[in-house]
A and B are shown apart, each in its own frame.
Chain A
């Protein structure tokens, strides 16, 4: 998922929009023109699969299906009042229904509109299986994660190259005895510092978040905070301290930084979040409702938010998905084109996008 995300985001910035999304050349304009284009029957749409087969290379394109939840979100985003505090939107739904891809769609839209994208592909990766935990130099009780922080900084840099030279830091930051960043230097320097000195990567991330938050209100840019799997921030971690006692998420500096970003005490942007059970720790497999996954703490922290349900395919969406697979010759089975075959696939996958994709991989 991380690989896919960077390709999409970097693609949005570097390639020409017309060339990038093969199947969706008119979609952004059509979205801009027809706000209430709810049923995407006429716009050219295609599906995307999040499988290991990496269909971006297979199909030479990365296509998203335009679906209702994403359209709803885009409508809200278009009507945001940037003077008001940032509104939080939470995408929730059962596993495999397309929450992450709806998030990607929204990110792509905002990237086209020249927003600054702060995207965390999977917050669960920051609370489990982290090697190299360091005690934070900034605050003795917190812990740094140099590996995760530096990889995130790399992605952030590729996604938002333009802004890094425009935004200036507003304070002086001293890294160690010899290095410091003066007030007024571009933010890109902070990011470079974090990338070169991996030990300071977490602090660099914290500084970036703080600066962006304080400056987003000035109106120079619009900030989109997109976190996938936000329920990881308020759950439990599998990380342990040296004395084998479990660590709470609050003790991780990265988690604290993101929690601050997700609060709505800043304005000039929007916050789009996804709940995810896959990858979550200590949550039952069938849990998908907001309160179940966020817990009491998470819900109180995110309240008030707009919950948006992402459900399985509707019949039209299912048809279009099958059509896309057939057009690209993904389905090789001879019965796949028949009505019977389609009904069988519908029954087996229960119109769940993830399940359908896994089934079609064998055909």
Chain B
């Protein structure tokens, strides 16, 4: 090999070829003397660095009662050598088992909460206690909280590692209030519900106003309070055009002046006329117990819809009214 290399070196560097050739020949000779026995490998011109043996994983040195929050103090990816649990994850091949944790990409992909064990959370709480104030002793039940503080404001603050502390999502303000804690009469409540539309939930009686049109949280909060004030005052006012409210606009069925009332009145009048009983007048007819029952059954039928209960009630009341037993 040395002999073959020597004329090549001479050919490549014609300048200081004698000295270099000598050096290279010497070095080549020395290197070839301690060359590794794998001479057939022509691609490894230089020595491959010696590989260290892999150390045993840290899990073998962990004791059972160690301080885990110091192993995972922050959210960190899953390190199989640092987690002493024999976890397997993955879809098994036929007649096999899921893959082990070493080199498992699936375990790396999923989020883990190894930094939030109960012990760690307890430590966080202890650290945060210094910054907390006492809950007022007088507010020991939900009803008292609702009574004294009916309006609830929800805001979110965002913290992230990055060059800027601003987050545009932090300007959203949600205002929640129960309508029963506002002083509204029947007309005002119906008008308010029509004004806010989808923001009112009938089952929980909660009005939710979510504002994010201003750039700052403080401005959004002011705007939400302003909206609540305006809604309250406007719903108490009665405009002229509200007189034109038709039956189709009504939220619930109203018996007075309805076609059902007219029908039953006509029927009863005809019945009385057939019996030659002409002295009765309308108010008396409407005030009888049967008509009251009938009115209740019709109102429940229209408001709640058809079900066995309402229909049977209606049937009984009509039978009594028309003397059909």
Stretch at the interface among A48-56, A200-208, A289-297: A289-297
When distances are taken between beta carbons in the complex, the residues of chain A under 8 Å from B301 are: 291
Partner of A306 from the list B298, B302, B318 (CB cut-off 8 Å) is B318
Q: Check A87/B324 contact, CB under 8 A, given A304-B267, A306-B315.
A: yes
| B114, CB-defined interface residue at 8 Å | no
Is A40 close to B, CB under 8 A? no
Interface residues of B in 280-325 (CB under 8 A from A): 294, 298, 301-302, 305-307, 311, 314-315, 318-319, 321-324
B170 CB, min distance to chain A CBs, angstroms:
47
Question: Are A84 and B266 within 8 A (Cβ)?
Answer: no
Q: Complex formed: what's the CA distance from A307 to B319 in Å? A: 10
Tell me what chain A mostly uses at the interface: helix, strand, loop, or mixed: mixed
A303 CB contacts on chain B under 8 angstroms: 259-260, 263-264, 298
B35 proximal to A (CB < 8 A): no
Please pick, from A84, A87, A264, the residue contacting B274 in the complex, using a CB distance under 8 A: A84
| Chain A 268-290 interface residues, beta-carbon cutoff 8 Å to B | 289-290
- Answer yes or no: A81 CB below 8 A from chain B CBs: yes
Q: Are A289 and B311 also in contact (CB < 8 A) when A85-B271, A300-B259, A304-B321 are?
A: yes
Chain B residue nearest to A266 in the complex (CB): B270
Instruction: Confirm or deny: B275 has a beta carbon within 8 angstroms of a beta carbon on chain A.
Output: yes
Inter-chain contact total with CB atoms closer than 8 Å: 62
A76 contacts which chain B residues (CB < 8 A)?
A: 324
Whether the Cβ atoms of A83 and B275 lie closer than 8 Å is yes
Binary contact track B251-275/A, C-beta < 8 Å → 1, others 0? 0000000111001101100110011
0/1 interface trace, chain A 74-85, chain B, CB 8 Å (1 if under): 001001010111
Cβ distance B301 to chain A, nearest Cβ, rounded Å: 7
Please pick, from A79, A84, A289, A305, the residue contacting B271 in the complex, using a CB distance under 8 A: A84
Asked whether A292 and B263 contact (CB < 8 A) given A79-B324, A303-B298, A304-B318, the answer is: no
Partner of A307, one of B259, B266, B311, B324: B311
- With an 8 Å Cβ cutoff, the count of chain B residues facing the other chain is 27
Within the complex, which residue of B264, B270, B302, B319 is in contact with A267, where a contact is CB–CB below 8 Å?
B270
**Across the two chains, which residue of chain A brings its CB closest to B317?**
A304
Contact of A289 among B264, B306, B318, B324 (CB under 8 A): B306
Interface residue tally for chain A (C-beta within 8 Å)? 22
Residues of B within 8 A of A265 (CB): 266, 270
Identity of the chain A residue whose Cβ is nearest the Cβ of B248 in the assembled complex = A296
Answer yes or no: A111 CB below 8 A from chain B CBs.
no
Check A309 for interface membership: any CB of B closer than 8 A: yes
Contacts of A84 in B (CB 8 A): 270-271, 274, 322-323
Q: Would B271 and A307 count as touching, CB distance under 8 A? A: no
A304 engages B294 (CB within 8 Å): yes
- What 0/1 readout, one digit per residue, does chain B (106-146) give for beta carbons within 8 Å of chain A? 00000000000000000000000000000000000000000
- Taking Cβ atoms with an 8 Å cutoff, the residues of A that contact B are 76, 79, 81, 83-85, 87, 264-265, 267, 289-292, 300, 303-309
Ranked nearest first, the 9 interchain pairs of A and B with the lowest CB-CB distance are A289-B306, A83-B274, A300-B259, A304-B318, A85-B270, A84-B271, A303-B260, A291-B306, A303-B263
Q: A85-B270, A304-B318 are known contacts; what are 10 more A-B pairs with Cβ within 8 Å?
A: A79-B324, A84-B274, A265-B270, A289-B307, A291-B301, A300-B258, A303-B260, A304-B294, A306-B318, A309-B311
Residues of B within 8 A of A (CB): 258-260, 263-264, 266-267, 270-271, 274-275, 294, 298, 301-302, 305-307, 311, 314-315, 318-319, 321-324
Subset of 9 A-B contacts with CB under 8 Å: A76-B324, A83-B274, A87-B322, A267-B274, A291-B301, A300-B260, A303-B260, A304-B318, A306-B324
